[in-house]
Structure 1
Amino acid sequence: MAEVHSIRARHEFRGIRTVEHYFTVPLIHSRGMVHASDTGETITVFAREYSSTDHTEEEAGKLPWLLFLQGGPGGRGNRVTSLSGWMKAAAKDFRILMLDQRGTGLSTPVERRSLELRGDAAAQAEYLTHFRADSIVADAEYIRRTLGSEPWSVLGQSFGGFCALTYLSFAPEGLREVLITGGLAPLHGPADRVYQATFQRVAARNAEYFAWYPEDRAMVTRIARHLERQPEFLASGERLTPERFQMVGSYLGGNTRVDALHYLLEDAFIQTPSGERLSEAFLEQVRGQVSRAANPLYAVLHESIYGQGQATDWAAWRVLQEFPDFKPEAEDPLLTGEMVYPWYFEQDPALVPLRDVAEILASKQDWGPLYDLERLRANTVPVAAAVYQNDIYVDHALSMETASSVRGLQTWVTDEFHHDGIGEDGEGIFARLFGLVRGSR
């Protein structure tokens, strides 16, 4: 068997000390999440250790670990060039382990070309069933044991919070305490209930935004109608359709990013010899919002994060039919959120080769459990969660339902932040949640 753990590089810069860790882990973990035997397929999982140079190297080596679980699915760990925000606060007391969840970053990659190595669509889909929260948590627990760590602290942002709940369900013995920001997942029920709640949240956020920037209401409609009449193409050669344009609603999920949407829209039109067209500056900015080339796992596995014992069956697309104002042909179409639709796999060149794979996963009936409700009701690990009242991605009401199902979970409910609150005031949010689990607040 290959070496289980290797360190390939160490660096120091601007008050940060980093260590690059590579772990060889089983593709399919045993049920007990312990070290597997020497047989069976393995993959690589990468993690970067961050510590502050305010500690000597010897001192840093004795600090307890804080594992950070990134949002997603399909999001690699943050690459930072200075300790700021929550990392600045955490580095006072911890070594931070920034995980590239399996399939992302420097871990064994998943994209359309690498998936071709697996074989046909059915084989690719089967492979991807091992890239959900249960497998990510098994990797984390495997890594903790490999490092020889005592139970460690975990911070989960968004989907990372979903993973933290899975960790509490199946390997709580590996946890000292858990902090969750914008990531209290619904523990049961079909994916439909998620989108029935979040479509309403996104509609309300549209209304709020257009009240701030009333001129942008007409601009969004104008762009959508223009795209129906006039083919416009991104620099990559793919067509920008009205429904793809609506994806810029991802800006609505942020505190500061929401205002950046206005600056995007004001760049939309220019005059050309052939008439009014969308500017290249606008098209280039939009490309970064509508392409999934950088993180195809997000699209392919997105609805599977809600799948337990039943097919998701393109839940967002089905629920959309109940909210006609989001349809591109609506009189004044609304901007959409993070939902994933089957047409993604027809219009995004990075996803077209994965269309059959996505269909297989959408129709999969036998998704395993992601949470153990009985174990969560008996939880003894200190847990604190930031719940954002107006979060358009993780619904407040569903979050509070989950909070009531986890014994001892303390919530800090606020309307001050949106889904990316940890990026807005990470230092303050970390300090508040850390105080809750340590009993100082």
Structure 2
Amino acid sequence: MPVTFRQPGVVLTDHRFSVPLDHDRPGGEHIELFAREAVAAGNEGRDLPWLLYLQGGPGCAANRFAGKEAWLGRALEDYRVLLLDQRGTGSSTPATRQTLPLRGGPREQADYLAHFRADAIVRDCEALRARLTGGAPWTVLGQSFGGFCATHYLSVAPEGLSAALITGGLPSLDAHADDVYRAAYPRMARKVAAHYARYPEDIERARRIAAHLAEHEPVLNSGYRLTVPAFQSLGILLGTGDGSHRLHYLLEDALVRTPSGPALSDAFQEAAHAALSYAGRPLYAVLHETIYGQDARPTAWAADRVRAEFPAFDAAKALAGDAPLQFTGETVHPWQFDCDPALRPLRESADLLAARTDWTPLYDAARLAANEVPVAAAVYHDDLYVDTAHSLDTARAVKGLRTWVTDEYEHDGLRVSGGRVLDRLLALVRGEA
């Protein structure tokens, strides 16, 4: 039975659904999906259109809002909203280091997780739509990886959509993971240069911290092993609107004097662990490069391989000379599975997924070229996480898609703008802008 409760201005109803693990085998194993319905207080009995929200990731649960936070208040003016925990995340049959051993060994775990990509997520959405809307199409709002899912939705089941709203998530239709990361590392370098221009004192701070880590390779209080490459991956913060400031505050008090010499402060350790650990979203790391697998070529730890093509990111060379230390962005590497206790037991499964050669295409270029669904996409100028040029190429390939290219926001524009980004996208699909 659905459970209903109230928050200020919002009525929330929790739903649980059973869906096939493999939609091509409906009589086989089933998993549970969790989704939270939100409607403005006073509108519970109204026949409102549905808006399905697909979170970024992969491997991230839907937002847990308190009232009309972020974009939700704007959405509730027009819609009944469904916040879906995509398969394996949040309250949807979780897939973590604790639960995956129920599947068996690494091979069985990898085979299980191969069913957790955008194609399966969209088929889940279609199963839920049939049960919730009576078959009526709904609007999908896709943030980041949620936009990848929305693009797949347009490719395989456009009849299920009345409109598609995409924010920071227009994928390349045909780029291999190697292409994605060859475009990504120069963006990372630009973000780091902008950070150092804003906070020039951080150049020396970052070098000093990295030198300390290279000498000591400390294990944080949490059990996370903070290597120099792990420290560099704090650059993932630079993709959000306040990320440069957060990185600065993290660096400024990282080292403290102790009776035995310089050491990482407890405050820094706590903040670094919060930024680096995948305990709350392990599938983000395990499945990250699978979202770019579309043919017989393995992803084969693309971000790690391609990094070698950009020697500026070699911390040892930077520390041996006087070059600024480069931070990295949204990249997943094998060594993270050794550093992070939440990922360590999943290393072999991740290796097997990286070696797979049976990925199928996620996007249908011909069907997208004939698209009739109203689509609008916010494309963030020089987005750290999703390449702007790739996004604009895809925008031109989808018939009728309207873009809003902006440098007013970073990748988290939907969340931090209140309702402004969502309002703009709605105006575009409705022909009001």
Q: TM-score range by the shorter chain?
A: over 0.9
3-state SS of the aligned residue for 1:134? helix
Q: 2:305 maps to what in 1? A: 318
What residue in structure 1 maps to residue 173 of structure 2?
187
Query: After TM superposition, where is structure 1 displaced by more than 4 Å over at least 4 residues in a row?
Result: none
CA separation of 1:330/1:50 partners in 2, compared to 1, >3 Å: closer, same or farther? farther
| Equivalent residue number for residue 3 of structure 1 | none
- Note if contact 1:325-1:334 (Cα within 8 Å) is conserved in structure 2: yes
2:244 corresponds to which residue? 258
2:149 corresponds to 1:157: no
Q: 1:278 aligns with which of 258, 264, 281?
A: 264
Paired residues for 1:89-168 under 5 Å: 89-147=74-132, 148-168=134-154
1:44 to 32, 45, 68: 32
Partner of 1:404: 396
**CA drift at 1:298:** 0.5
Partner of 2:187: 201
Q: 1:220 aligns with which of 201, 206, 216?
A: 206
Could you say which residue in structure 2 is the equivalent of 1:382? Answer: 374
CA contact (8 A) 1:66 1:96 kept: yes
The residue number in structure 1 matching 2:21 is 27
Matched, 1:303 2:295: no
Q: Conserved in 2, the CA contact under 8 Å of 1:65 and 1:149?
A: no
- Greater Cα offset, 321-330 or 77-86: 321-330
1:308 partner SS: coil
The one-letter code sitting in structure 2 at the alignment partner of 1:225 is A
In the alignment, which of 352, 358, 361 is matched to residue 350 of structure 2? Answer: 358
Which 10-residue stretch deviates more, 262-271 or 326-335? 326-335
Q: CA deviation at 1:235?
A: 1.5
User: What are structure 1's unaligned runs of at least 5 residues?
Assistant: 1-5, 31-35
2:64 alignment partner in structure 1: 79
Select 2:12's aligned residue among 18, 21, 31: 18
Question: Does 2:287 correspond to 1:293?
Answer: no
Residues 426, 371 of structure 1: alpha-carbon distance in 2 compared, 3 angstrom cutoff: farther
How many aligned residue pairs are there? Answer: 426
| Structure 1 counterpart of 2:17, one-letter code | F
Task: Determine if the alignment matches structure 1 residue 328 to structure 2 residue 315.
Answer: yes
Residue pair 1:247, 1:289 contacting (<8 A) in 2 also: no
Secondary structure of 1:178's aligned partner: strand
Partner secondary structure for residue 20 of structure 1: strand
Cα distance per residue 1:354-374 (max 9 Å; x no partner): 111111111111101111111
CA contact (8 A) 2:224 2:273 kept: no
The alignment partner of 1:330 has SS state of: helix
Q: TM-score, normalised by structure 2?
A: 0.96
Q: Is the 8 A contact 1:84 1:427 kept in 2?
A: no
Is contact 2:88–2:95 with CA below 8 Å preserved after alignment?
yes
What is the distance in 2 between the residues matched to 1:157 and 1:412? 14
Structure 1 counterpart of 2:416: 424
Matched residue type, 1:106:
S
Query: Could you tell me how far 1:238 is from its partner in structure 2?
Result: 3.2
In structure 2, give the amino acid aligned to 1:236.
S
Per the normalisation by structure 1, the TM-score is: 0.95
Measured in 2, the distance between the counterparts of 1:211 and 1:379 equals: 44
**DSSP 3-state at the match of 2:39:** strand
The percentage of counterpart residues that share the same residue type is 53
The C-alpha deviation readout for 1:89-137, integer Å capped at 9, x for no partner, is 1100101100000000000000012111111211111100000000000
CA contact (8 A) 2:10 2:38 kept: yes
CA shift at 1:231, angstroms? 3.6
Q: What residue is the counterpart of 1:391 in the other structure?
A: 383
Residue 430 (structure 2) pairs with residue 438 (structure 1) = yes
Quote the residue 2:321 is aligned against: none
What stretches of structure 2 of length at least 5 have no aligned partner? 319-323
Q: Which amino acid in 2 is paired with 1:403?
A: A
CA contact (8 A) 2:144 2:169 kept: yes
| Cα distance in structure 2, aligned partners of 1:217 and 1:188 | 37
In 2, Cα distance between the equivalents of 1:396 and 1:50? Answer: 32
Q: State the distance in 2 between where 1:433 and 1:370 align.
A: 24
Report the Cα offset of residue 326 of structure 1. Answer: 1.5
CA RMSD across the alignment: 1.1
CA-to-aligned-CA distance 1:390-431 (integer Å, 9 cap, x gap): 101101101001111111111001111111111221411111
3-state SS of the aligned residue for 1:366? coil
- Is the 2:375–2:402 Cα contact (8 Å) retained in structure 1? yes
Q: Is the 8 A contact 1:206 1:335 kept in 2?
A: yes
Instruction: Answer whether contact 1:182 1:386 (CA < 8 A) is retained.
Output: yes
Q: Indicate how the Cα distance of structure 1 residues 149 and 86 shifts in structure 2: closer, same or farther if over 3 A, else same.
A: farther
Shift of 1:304: 0.4
SS in 2 for 1:422: helix
CA distance in 2, matches of 1:406, 1:71: 21
CA distance in 1 between partners of 2:280 and 2:248 (Å): 25
Which string of whole-angstrom CA distances, capped at 9 and with x for unpartnered residues, describes residues 222-266 of structure 1? 100110112422112332111111121111001123211111111
Aligned partners of 2:223 and 2:341 also within 8 Å:
no
Secondary structure of the 1:58 match is: coil
What is the identity, as a one-letter code, of the residue corresponding to 1:220? A
- Note the C-alpha offset of 1:149: 4.2
CA distance in 2, matches of 1:418, 1:238: 29
The answer to whether residue 399 in structure 2 is matched with residue 413 in structure 1 is no
Q: How far apart, in 2, do the equivalents of 1:212 and 1:149 lie?
A: 52
